[in-house]
Amino acid sequence: MSGLAPQTLAWPEIRERLSTVDLLLAMERAFSAYSQGQAVIPPVGELQFSDPPGDVHIKYGYINGGRYYVVKIASGFYDNPVLGIPSSQGLMLLFEQETGRLASILLDEGRLTDERTGAAGAVAAKYLAPKEVHCIGIVGTGTQARCQLRHLKAVTPCRRVVVWGRNTANTDAFCRDATNLEFDVEGVDSVAELARRANLVVTTTPTNTPLLQGAWIKPGTHITAVGADAASKQELASAILSRADVVVVDSLQQSQHRGEVFQAVKSGEFQMDTAIELGQVILGMKEGRTSDSQITVADLTGVAVQDLMIASAIMTTDSSD
């Protein structure tokens, strides 16, 4: 950095730097720091739009004794693909924690949020999926669906995939892209069929109406749900959480206001005090999956400590290395 001017990075340079980052390790460290009480993460700022449909999240925070604090603005406008624009947009601002000076403007177009969410899903699968994953099920066909599948390559040798999407053309495009990632992928006609065939299921949609029902879930299944990042959203029927042997969240505090656990507690089908944090599982403070017959759920609503870790990694990585 020269003088007091912040460093501004656009997506092409961010992507180069990101290619050298161990993102799964960064997310493990983020969740561990959070569950150890080292992170200061205020409530999420939020804007909701109806015409066109969309939402904006403002997340911010720091780790005690860390070098930076982060302010992240990320949006999802779900009609954007019709316009040829990705639904995810946004940027991250990184400030020096000691002085408050703006250190970097990361014009990532919302893609760092996509990547850290995909990596978080892989971390959840690493600690909670059954030892033998025979088929991966992806609910949704958008950017996050692709991110989740790509990052799963690092934690499971399974390459058999079934995918469900509302739009046949989008499902076909997802299948082509997944094939290029060396997956054997097939579109299915219903979420029920997907649940029947897969024992590692990832849900990635912004729906307000549950897509996955409790009666469909087989013993031994792990589910990672990442779409319900607002109070109105819900991908999993609450009966799934009441059936689950282990329910893990990224943030107990945040899950009181958004996500699958929030919805299940509100419906009376789940008790908040039975949920545990992913960081606690990573650290060995709480047990995750203990048998291949258990049903496990990871409810990931996205925590600012993840944004801090990925933004800090970008700033401390030299793409020329």
Phi, then psi, of 220 in degrees rounded to 5: 90, 0
> 277 and 250 in contact (C-beta within 8 Å)?
yes
Catalytically annotated residue among 59, 72, 126, 233: 72
Residues 122, 209: Cα–Cα separation, whole Å = 25
H helix intervals, the chain: 11-18, 23-35, 111-128, 143-152, 168-180, 191-197, 238-243, 259-266, 278-283, 304-315
Cα–Cα dist 9/104, whole Å: 8
Distance (Å, rounded) from C-alpha 102 to C-alpha 9?
13
Task: Judge whether 72 counts as a catalytic residue.
Answer: yes
- CA dihedral over 251, 257, 260, 264, signed as positive or negative: positive
- What is the biggest distance separating any 2 CA atoms in the chain, rounded to whole angstroms? 61
Asked if residues 201 and 223 have their Cβ atoms less than 8 Å apart, the reply is: yes
Q: Which of 22, 53, 76, 31 is nearest to 251 (CA)?
A: 31
CA distances from 46 to 55, 105, 111, 129 (A): 7, 21, 19, 32
Catalytic residue numbers, as ranges: 72
